[in-house]
Amino acid sequence: MSTVEQTIDVDVPVRNVYDQWTQFEEFPHFMEGVEEIRQIDDRHTHWRTKVAGVRREFDTEIVDQLPDERVAWRTVDGEVRQKGVVTFQRLDEGRTRVRLAMEVEPEGVVEKAGDALGILDLRVKGDLKRFKEFIEERGRATGGWRGRVRPSDAAGPADAQGPSGTSSPGFGTPPVPPAGPGVPGQR
């Protein structure tokens, strides 16, 4: 598994940043290679991607979600194996730190070569930069979901607590360093 961790500060209040992140169907506007995301229910989405000419489809499950703090997910079906967590930390009234940590299992020669060259890190860094531009340009979210998903609510085993007590999605503990006082996180 490859590990990616990226952080960006956004000049928008935490509630708006979190609310925008929970609008999964908007991800194609700022995530490179994401063609479509379809919300299935409160915990599940279906993704269609095209990266380096390779099309993939997969389903994800939210395994832990706390408004204005974090969203943790894992893949549950399809051609991609990954898990991760995005956290949201209030810096002040109008600024938020977004930290994304994920593990991805590269498939095939092209993905393994890209992983060795650090392409995934660059892609995630670019996605966060485009998210920052997307939300800052608007100043507010296009929608939001304020519900709570606990690890015990998710189907299948949710692993033990990760660093700083954040719940981990699915098949291991995501590499999530503490984000400051109270560990902050998606929908």
For residue 41, what are the contacts with CB-CB under 8 A and spacing of at least 6? none
In a domain? residue 131: yes
Average pLDDT on 25-30 reads 96
Phi first, then psi, for residue 33 (nearest 5°) are: 90, -10
Cα–Cα distance measured from residue 133 to residue 135, given in angstroms and rounded to the nearest whole number: 6
pLDDT of residue 114: 65
Q: Which domain holds residue 59?
A: 2-165
Q: Which helix (H) or strand (E) holds 54?
A: strand 54-66
Give burial (CB, 10 Å; 0-12/13-18/19+) of 176. buried
In a domain? residue 130: yes
pLDDT of residue 179: 36
In a domain? residue 174: no
pLDDT of residue 158: 36
Reply yes or no on whether the pLDDT at 151 is more than 70: yes
In a domain? residue 172: no
Centre a 10 Å sphere on the Cβ of residue 58 and count the other Cβ atoms it contains.
17
By three-state DSSP, how is residue 137 classified?
helix
User: Are the C-beta atoms of 22 and 71 separated by less than 8 Å?
Assistant: yes
Average pLDDT on 148-166 reads 53
- Could you report the per-residue pLDDT of 33-88, keeping only the tens digit for each? 999 999 999 999 999 998 878 899 999 999 999 999 999 999 999 888 999 999 99
Cα–Cα distance measured from residue 176 to residue 30, given in angstroms and rounded to the nearest whole number: 23
Q: Total domain count for the chain?
A: 1
pLDDT of residue 9: 98
The tokens for 163 are 């660093």
Cα–Cα distance measured from residue 119 to residue 39, given in angstroms and rounded to the nearest whole number: 27
By three-state DSSP, how is residue 92 classified?
strand
In a domain? residue 136: yes
CATH number at residue 101: 3.30.530.20
- Could you report the per-residue pLDDT of 75-131, keeping only the tens digit for each? 999 888 999 999 999 999 999 999 999 998 877 666 666 666 667 889 899 999 999
Higher pLDDT, 52 or 168: 52
In a domain? residue 181: no
Cα angle for residues 62, 96, 23 (degrees, 5° grid): 35
In a domain? residue 182: no
pLDDT of residue 116: 63
Average pLDDT on 126-149 reads 93
In a domain? residue 115: yes
pLDDT of residue 187: 40
